[in-house]
Amino acid sequence: MIKLYCFGESGNAYKAALTLELSGLEWEPVYVDFFNGEARTPEFRELNDMGEVPVMVDGDLTLSQSGMIQDYVSSKSGKLGGRSANQRREILRWVLWDNHKLSSQAGTTRFLMNFLPEEKRPVEAIAFLQARLKAAYATLNAALEGRSWLVGDSVTIADLACCGYLFYPEPFGFDRADWPNIDAWLDRIAALPGWKHPYDLMPGSPADRA
């Protein structure tokens, strides 16, 4: 069975976990105690030289990077990967954009605003990241104008990449009400058979540490 090293608070892990769940492949989560430094231990670096979650293990194959895991799972399952070479290119384009402009900055901003003690929060850096994120939300909202899904006419890993941080309850400056196309698209994703919220799909949530 496929193992996914993950924890509930990680939107990057959520992209991989949601792709696995909706692909129909059998998988199980392995909890990584990120908040106590497990991802930075030598043992974890043996698993992933990038020192990051998620990591997928499927038999002899170990992969990291959520986008790479998504690509592997969609190839293996024959699902969520588009229907033509052009669609597959469009999908990778959005996965890369998400990694570059959306999830990277959303994840960092959410971490700074929610998982650091208040006196340690870098206020100027948060404002800077939020301004850049606003441009990313605008790009995503415009791309969804008149469309149900980012690529083609059904859900793909492009959608499951870009939504990675957008279902979380902790505030980081993203308000669905400001972006009606994103709002409707998140409702469509949440209505997919088998969809689960990150804190229901993976072990670990802020509630555990409360």
Contacts with its own copies by CB under 8 A lie at 49-51, 61, 63-68, 71-72, 86, 89, 92-93, 95-97, 99-101, 103-104, 108, 122-125, 128-129, 132, 139, 142-143
Helices 180-190 and 123-143: crossing angle in degrees, nearest 10, is 80
Q: Closest CB to its own copies among 103 and 156?
A: 103
Verify cis geometry, omega within 30 degrees of 0, for the bond prior to 117.
no
Report the C-alpha gap between 70 and 80 in whole angstroms. Answer: 9
Min dist. Cβ of residue 145 to its own copies (A): 10
Min dist. Cβ of residue 129 to its own copies (A): 8
Q: For residue 10, which of 161, 149, 192, 202 has the smallest C-alpha distance?
A: 202
Q: Closest CB to its own copies among 35 and 111?
A: 111
Q: Closest CB to its own copies among 82 and 199?
A: 82
Residues 6+ apart with CB under 8 A from 81: 71, 74, 75, 88, 91, 156, 157
Min dist. Cβ of residue 181 to its own copies (A): 13
Q: For residue 204, which of 168, 153, 166, 155 has the smallest C-alpha distance?
A: 168
Q: Closest CB to its own copies among 51 and 180?
A: 51
The total of other beta-carbon atoms located within 10 Å of residue 42's CB is: 6
Min dist. Cβ of residue 106 to its own copies (A): 12
Helices 66-77 and 11-23: crossing angle in degrees, nearest 10, is 0
Min dist. Cβ of residue 27 to its own copies (A): 18
Sign of CA dihedral 27, 31, 34, 40: negative
Q: Closest CB to its own copies among 136 and 166?
A: 136
Min dist. Cβ of residue 142 to its own copies (A): 7
Q: Closest CB to its own copies among 17 and 199?
A: 17
Tokens of 117: 């003690």
